[in-house]
């Protein structure tokens, strides 16, 4: 129940070494490797000879060689050669469109003819030295839509992340949710509050006082298939909040690329892009470590929620105003899924 005609983050470039990487994306088992030009290739992880996983093989001059009996494939999924065999009549395997961008390897698990690079998300910080980025990823046993719900309703921060980014005022601030084409945007503003510990650290890192009232904002933007970018920040109170001058605020973008593995498991790529002190690698590492700890607090909740929903499959869930972001995102997905079927 996920879109297949879309760009998904498959892995980070560092995960592809001399040995291919085997990973299932949207139900498709793929082998990732680099060809002779250094471009990442994704083939079906199934050798047409005897069905061995190609990801157990090796790369020779940019071609993927099956590690069982040596069938060599080209990057289009055609058999290139095999010792002592003529391979002309061999069946091909699928090759999946791949783009390497923004520090990720993106793959299109659906119809290759529709794999338009223009459909890639546009991220502000590409090739812009005023930004810094750090992140990581988790494997989680839940439906990808539970993770979208999680990110489009940040009131959970008050409960799940109470010691870092949660604060009572999040619950009390009514969010607004709107459509923007296929995107869904949920916004929340809190004025004159004391920053929670994560943001105190960020203000301190940025030379701002940490114990004065701030205006805080969270602008969650879902875009299909399952990407959520969240503009977050705090400004000294009364200076315009989100629109305050750069010198009196700290802001960043929480980056969430959710990639279904199966109907009930995901690869979750998370990170933070920030505009302050981008040259400070130590700060990048510190934020990454903090974010990893915070985001790992969601794992048990998501996996247990998944199991609960499997146990009570017929139970309706509530759709409150705080859930509007997730609910509207699901409607977009439903509509695009219907398109994809026809």
Q: Does 261 bind its own copies (CB under 8 A)?
A: no
Q: Does 53 bind its own copies (CB under 8 A)?
A: yes
Cβ 29 to its own copies shortest distance, Å: 6
Q: Please, what sign has the CA dihedral across residues 202, 205, 206, 212?
A: positive
**C-beta closer to its own copies: residue 100 or 171:** 171
Q: Does 239 bind its own copies (CB under 8 A)?
A: no
- Site of tokens 């129940």: 1
**C-beta closer to its own copies: residue 9 or 327:** 327
**C-beta closer to its own copies: residue 89 or 181:** 89
Window 163-222: residues binding its own copies (CB under 8 A) = 168, 171-174
Cβ 307 to its own copies shortest distance, Å: 8
Do the Cβ atoms of 77 and 93 come closer than 8 Å? yes
Long-range contacts of 121-127 (CB under 8 A, 24+ apart): 121/7, 121/223, 121/227, 121/229, 123/229, 123/255, 123/273, 124/253, 124/273, 125/253, 125/273, 126/101, 126/102
Cβ 77 to its own copies shortest distance, Å: 14
The number of CA neighbours under 13 Å toward the Cβ of 42 is: 24
Cβ 97 to its own copies shortest distance, Å: 21
Q: How far apart are CA 174 and CA 190, in angstroms?
A: 9
Cβ 228 to its own copies shortest distance, Å: 17
Q: What is the largest CA-CA distance in the chain?
A: 77
- Residue 36 in 3-state DSSP? coil
* The one among 18, 38, 51, 88 contacting its own copies by CB under 8 A: 51
Q: Does 149 bind its own copies (CB under 8 A)?
A: yes
**C-beta closer to its own copies: residue 155 or 286:** 155
Q: Of 187, 26, 197, nearest to 96 (Cα)?
A: 26
By CB under 8 A, name the binding residues for its own copies: 29, 45-46, 48-53, 56-57, 65-70, 82-85, 90-91, 149, 153, 155-156, 158-160, 168, 171-174, 300-301, 304-305, 308-309, 311-312, 315-318, 320-323
């Amino acid at each position: 129940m996920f879109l297949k005609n879309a760009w998904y983050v498959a892995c980070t470039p560092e995960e592809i070494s001399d040995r291919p990487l085997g990973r299932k994306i949207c139900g498709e088992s793929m082998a990732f490797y680099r060809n002779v030009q250094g471009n990442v290739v994704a083939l079906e992880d199934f050798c047409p000879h005897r069905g061995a996983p190609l990801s157990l093989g090796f790369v020779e001059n940019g071609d993927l060689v099956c590690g069982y009996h040596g069938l060599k494939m080209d990057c289009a999924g055609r058999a290139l050669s095999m010792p002592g065999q003529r391979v002309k009549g061999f069946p091909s395997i699928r090759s999946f469109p791949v783009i390497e961008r923004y520090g990720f390897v993106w793959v299109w698990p659906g119809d290759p003819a529709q794999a338009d690079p223009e459909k890639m998300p546009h991220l502000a910080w590409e090739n812009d030295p005023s930004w810094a980025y750090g992140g990581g990823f988790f494997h989680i046993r839940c439906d990808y839509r539970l993770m979208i719900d999680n990110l489009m309703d940040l009131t959970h921060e008050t409960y799940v992340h109470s010691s870092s980014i949660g604060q009572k005022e999040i619950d009390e601030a009514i969010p607004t949710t709107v459509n923007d084409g296929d995107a869904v945007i949920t916004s929340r503003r809190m004025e004159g509050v004391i920053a929670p510990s994560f943001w105190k650290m960020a203000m301190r890192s940025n030379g701002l006082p940490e114990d004065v009232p701030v205006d805080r904002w969270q602008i969650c933007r879902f875009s299909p298939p399952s990407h959520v970018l969240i503009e977050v920040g705090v400004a000294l109170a009364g200076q315009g909040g989100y629109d305050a001058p750069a010198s009196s605020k700290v802001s960043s973008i929480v980056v969430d690329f959710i990639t279904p593995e199966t109907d009930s498991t995901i690869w979750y790529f998370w990170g933070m892009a920030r505009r302050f002190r981008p040259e400070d690698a130590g700060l990048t590492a510190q934020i990454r470590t903090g974010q990893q700890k915070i985001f790992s607090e969601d794992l048990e909740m998501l996996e247990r929620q998944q199991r609960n929903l499997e146990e009570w499959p017929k139970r309706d869930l509530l759709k409150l105003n705080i859930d509007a972001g997730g609910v509207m995102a699901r409607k977009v997905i439903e509509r695009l899924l219907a398109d994809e079927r026809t």
